[in-house]
Every structure is written in C-alpha cells, then in structure tokens.
Amino acid sequence: MSSGMASRSGIEFLVTCEHGGNRIPAAYRDEFAGHEALLASHRGYDPGALTMARELARRIGAPLFYSTVSRLLVDLNRSPGHPRLHAEAIEWLPAASRRRIFERHYLPFRARAAGVIAATLARGGRVIHLSSHSFTPVLDGIERRADVGLLYDPARPGEAVLARAWAACLKARAPGLRVRRNYPYAGTSDGFTAWLRRRFAASDYIGIELEINQRIVLAGGRDWRRLRTVVVEALLQALDRVRA
C-alpha cells in the first residue's frame, strides 16, 4: 500500500477499500469453521470492490489503502461501538480478544488513511477520498434497482457537486446504466467517509463511496471490464467539469 498522495490541479486523492477480501487470520479460523458459505457471500466481503479500487487508484495516481480481512472479523466501515462491528462468531469472544482484533486490524487502517489526509491538509491541499464498495443485487428479498451508486453527504457542497457531475458523466457515457445517488444506502449512514467528515471540514475533505452492483461483478467478462473503464473515465470527466 502506497503512502504518498498524487496531486491533480491542487486536489489530492485517496482511494480506500474496506471490504476487499474474506480472509480470516489463522488465530480466528476456528470461530468461522463451518461458515465458509457465509464468508464467500456478500456478508463476508464486497466482490469486485478491490479490483475497482485498484483501477481507480492506478488511473488517477492515488494511494490505495485496502484490507483483505473479512468484515465478519471486524468491519472497517463501521464506527467504533457499532453493534455490528463484529459478526456473531466474534461477539462471544472475551472483550480482551475483541480488543486485540480491533487494535490489530481496525485502528491501523483508519489511522493510516486519516494520517495521510491530515498531512495533505497541513501542506495546504484538499482531499478527494473515494471508498470502493459493492452491493448484493437482492437484499431481504428486495431487488436493488441500480448498477452504480454514489453515496455522499448532500449538506457538503463539494461532495454534492462532484457526485452530480460523476453521475451525469456516467449516464452520458453509458445511457443504459442505472446510476443513482445515495442508493442503495444513504450517504450519511455510518461508514468510514461519515467518520472522516466529523474530523475534516467540508472545504478540505470530499468523501464519496462508490457502490457497484455485484450482479455485474459476478457475471464478469466484457461488461464488468467495460463498467470499470466507464466509471473511471466518467470520474475524470467529472473532475474536469467541476473545475472548469
């Protein structure tokens, strides 16, 4: 994982992927014995999210911070104290064991990313943070009617402007693509970007969570490759548009 920030017209970028894999460290594998199907499901990780994050980071020259430890061990996109910070298999462990998981796998990820942002702001820069995720096409029997979601805080002007421009560029490049803002989740819901907003001013920090429908990811092939290209090209176009 890189630690430098790349600059584009005075704006510096950061890409993160909180749910990039479903790996369980050896010390905790007994707790997940018999739960292989769960680990392989959308509850275990976000399929395609790390692939998308790597492509974004490469194309915009940004550092990438990611985790391949399953969100079932500890969810990096939940705030400390959240009732679903750990899965059921971990919740019964002694508090000291859960604290060790938190200190080893959670705190360093957040501290590194927040530290890079703080260092950039100290140099007088501004940060655009893109958090890469994917979502299951059906949840609790309800179909999610989107291919791409852009999550942001509408009360933060920089986020709203960039999200609108990115969505418009996506639709222009791929008219058949179902693009929705603040769907399938609210952009202000608990998450890493929401946590960072509480620490950095709207004038300094823009955080957008990218959500890709796993239906496209799991189908693979040309459509998945094309979607990744379209997402990145639309972002670059949107950045040029909002700076014009």
Contact partners, residue 164, CB within 8 Å, separation at least 6:
181
Residue 9 pLDDT: 53
Average pLDDT along the chain: 94
The reply to whether 2 falls in a domain is no
Residue 10 pLDDT: 80
CATH number at residue 211: 3.40.630.40
The reply to whether 155 falls in a domain is yes
The reply to whether 11 falls in a domain is yes
Q: Taking a C-beta distance cutoff of 8 angstroms, is the pair 207, 146 a contact?
A: no
**pLDDT tens readout for residues 105-130:** 999 999 999 999 999 999 999 999 99
Q: What is the C-alpha to C-alpha distance for residues 90 and 101, in angstroms, rounded to an integer?
A: 10
Average pLDDT, integer, range 127-140 = 97
The reply to whether 57 falls in a domain is yes
Q: Taking a C-beta distance cutoff of 8 angstroms, is the pair 95, 105 a contact?
A: no
The answer to whether residue 2 scores a pLDDT higher than 60 is no
Q: What is the C-alpha to C-alpha distance for residues 28 and 188, in angstroms, rounded to an integer?
A: 32
Higher pLDDT, 41 or 4: 41
Q: Taking a C-beta distance cutoff of 8 angstroms, is the pair 97, 65 a contact?
A: no
Counting the structural domains of the chain, the total is 1
Contact partners, residue 33, CB within 8 Å, separation at least 6:
none
Q: What is the pTM of this model?
A: 0.94
The answer to whether residue 5 scores a pLDDT higher than 70 is no
* pLDDT band (50, 70, 90) for residue 8: very low
Closest CA to 158 of 194, 127, 131: 127
Range of the domain at 162: 7-243
* pLDDT band (50, 70, 90) for residue 243: confident
Higher pLDDT, 1 or 180: 180
**pLDDT tens readout for residues 62-115:** 999 999 999 999 999 999 989 899 998 898 899 999 999 999 999 999 999 999
The reply to whether 1 falls in a domain is no
Q: What is the C-alpha to C-alpha distance for residues 28 and 125, in angstroms, rounded to an integer?
A: 41
